[in-house]
């Protein structure tokens, strides 16, 4: 079993991370059937709305996950009262399938519990079967479903 250490992102790290994360979100929205141009606009609006003050937006926390001195992924979550919400998690491409996704989620859960959270939630795209499987293994249950149809 692997374990990770969550290292808070610096302001210098946040800018490039946000650009990459927003681009990845655009790709995920596109894979969900939204035209690329519309997906890019949706991603930009989503990030602007969620993070009006960038890394200083109240309640939001950003970490790089490290195994020793190696960065293996990142985690973004928000804590509001007794509820935590995972906005984004990723494992570096060359570190996948080694247990780091589980380790990052568990580290986020421990942090959330230690800071007063009683529940934790997340959103996962339907096409992301690997993430969905991991979350189910960790005990997350589906609480809603958004559906669409191409016309």
Residue 94 is predicted with a pLDDT of: 94
Of the two residues 111 and 33, the one the predictor is more confident about is 111
Q: Is the pLDDT of residue 136 over 90?
A: no
Alpha-carbon distance 145 to 76, whole Å?
A: 22
| The two three-digit tokens of residue 52, written as one number | 């009006």
Q: Is the pLDDT of residue 17 over 90?
A: yes
Q: Considering only CA atoms, which of 111, 120, 13, 107 is closest in space to residue 65?
A: 107
DSSP 3-state of 129: helix
The residue ranges of every structural domain in the chain are 5-137
Q: What is the mean pLDDT of residues 10-16?
A: 96
Using one digit for the tens of pLDDT, what is the confidence trace for 18-64? Answer: 999 999 999 988 888 889 899 999 999 999 999 999 999 999 999 99
Measured CA angle at 131 (ends 129, 132), to 5 deg: 60
Using one digit for the tens of pLDDT, what is the confidence trace for 72-94? Answer: 999 999 999 999 999 999 999 99
CATH of domain 5-137: 3.40.630.30
Note the pTM of the prediction, 2 decimals: 0.87
């Amino acid at each position: 079993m692997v374990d990770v250490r969550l290292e808070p992102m610096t302001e210098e790290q946040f800018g490039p991370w946000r650009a990459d994360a927003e681009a990845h979100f655009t790709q995920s929205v596109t894979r969900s059937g939204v035209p690329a141009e519309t997906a890019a606009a949706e991603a930009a609006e989503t990030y602007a709305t969620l993070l009006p003050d960038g890394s200083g937006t109240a309640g939001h926390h950003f970490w790089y996950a490290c195994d020793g001195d190696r960065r293996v992924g990142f985690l973004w979550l928000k804590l509001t009262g007794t509820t935590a919400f995972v906005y984004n998690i990723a494992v570096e491409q060359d570190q996948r399938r080694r247990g780091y996704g589980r380790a990052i989620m568990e580290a986020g859960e421990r942090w959330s519990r230690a800071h007063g959270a009683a529940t934790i939630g997340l959103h996962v795209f339907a096409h992301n079967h690997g993430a969905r499987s991991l979350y189910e293994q960790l005990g997350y249950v589906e609480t809603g479903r958004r559906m669409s149809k191409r016309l």
